[in-house]
Amino acid sequence: MFNRDLFKKMKPDAIFINCSRGDLVDQEALLWAVSSSVIAAAGLDVTTPEPLPTDSPLLDPSLRGKLVIFPHIGSASNRTRENMAMLAAENLIAGLSGRPMPSPL
């Protein structure tokens, strides 16, 4: 887990990026690291909870330029959604026909 101790070990010009799981980051420690200039900036694609409540300290306007939070929508392009729908349909048809699914996971 990324906590105060780990943020203290980072260089002051470090930019922390989390696009894996929100629970891997102690968000209070991240807030401290960014607001205290322990690290230069951070970008989050995931948070805990998701979405953040509107009163979350991570959304403080004074952190703009130092902390960027993106909605977790990496798969939201039309092409990706169409591909996901096609794969789901192909899996369903194969499963109902007794054939191996093209992508069982």
Residue type, 48: T
DSSP class of residue 18?
E
CB of 71 within 8 A of CB of 46? Answer: no
Residue 43, pLDDT > 70, answer yes
DSSP class of residue 101?
P
Q: What are the catalytic residues? A: 72
pLDDT digits (tens, 9 = 90+) for 56-89: 999 999 999 999 998 777 667 888 889 889 999 9
CA distances from residue 62 to 3, 34, 40, 57, 59 in whole angstroms, order as listed: 22, 11, 14, 10, 9
**pTM (2 decimals)?**
0.70
